[in-house]
Every structure is written in structure tokens, then in C-alpha cells.
Structure 1
């Protein structure tokens, strides 16, 4: 199921992909470790933000819909939340 946030997440991940490719090139060029660490931090931040948006969107929409579907939906939503919690 595609969510409204997915295009933004794809954009963020593509940006992270570009940063990561840049880091690989920088390593191959023998660039200073401080520069590498800075770029790796940018990759890490982009991925963390993409994950945060994905999980928040899922919690708001998918889990919210499960809660609206009675006891069975709430039980399934809670199980899904527990599964998501390990990625927070």
C-alpha cells in the first residue's frame, strides 16, 4: 500500500544514495577522515529521517485504521506496533 509520504521517502533515500556514492568516491580518492565522517553523518541522517517518516506515517494511517475496526483490528494494530517498535 502506497502512502502519501512514500514519494518524499524515496526522495530522501535517493539523496542518501547519492551521499553514499560520494563517500565511496571520497574513500577511493584518499580524502581526509573528517570529510568522510561528515558525509557519512549526512547519509545516516537522511536514512534515519526517512525511517522516522515511514514509521510515523504508518502509525498514523495503518495502525489508526486498525484501531477503528474493533477488538480484532486493535489486536492486530497492537501486534504491528510491537513489530515496528524494534526499529525505533
Structure 2
């Protein structure tokens, strides 16, 4: 276990696993669509949906990490010291 890993999963990890398992199943169905010769527009639409699901899982993971791990590392801060951290947390919403 590296120094950045924790003995317990983050609160969001269960939700992320569920999202990724759904995306995994969805991706398998897209492979079947391709093998069955479905229209490219339909395939592209489904790929877009999987891409969005994976991106949302990534965003959730990163935001959870910042909310918990970064704050644990930084420790207690005054309100003036918190401003850059809060700004950093806000900008990650645009990942």
C-alpha cells in the first residue's frame, strides 16, 4: 500500500464501482451492437453515453479525494488560508 492509499474506501467508492460496472455492461452491449452491424450513429450515441458515465466516475473520485485526502493532509487552516483550497475544489467541478 502506497503512502496515498487508505485502509478504508472513500465514501464515494461504492457509487463509483456501481457506475463503472454499469458502464462495463453497457460497453459490452456496444461491442455486440458493432458485431451485429448496427448503425454507426446508434453506436456513437451509446459510446457517448459510456464516455459520460466514465467521466462522471472520474470526476466523483477526484472531487472526493480532494475533499477528504487533501484536507486531511493540509490540516486545520484559517479562513484566509482556506481560500486557495476552496478555489481549487471549485475548479475541479469543471474536469
Give the shorter-chain TM-score range. 0.7 to 0.9
Cross-structure match for 1:32: 39
Distance 1:25 1:58 in 2: 35
Please, which runs of 5 or more residues in structure 1 have no aligned partner?
71-80
Tell me the secondary structure at the aligned position of residue 11 of structure 2: coil
User: What does residue range 34-53 of structure 1 map to in structure 2 within 5 Å?
Assistant: 34-53=41-60
Q: TM-score, normalised by structure 1?
A: 0.77
Q: 1:13 aligns with which of 20, 31, 38?
A: 20
More helix by share: 1
- What is the aligned-residue RMSD (CA, Å)? 1.8
Please say which of residues 35-44 and 60-69 is displaced more in the overlay.
Answer: 60-69
Cross-structure match for 1:57: 64
Cross-structure match for 1:4: 11
Please, which runs of 5 or more residues in structure 2 have no aligned partner?
1-5, 78-87
Distance 1:25 1:5 in 2: 31
Paired residues in the alignment total 73
Cα drift, residue 69 of structure 1: 7.1
Distance 1:41 1:57 in 2: 24
Larger RCO, structure (CA 8 Å, separation 6 or more):
2
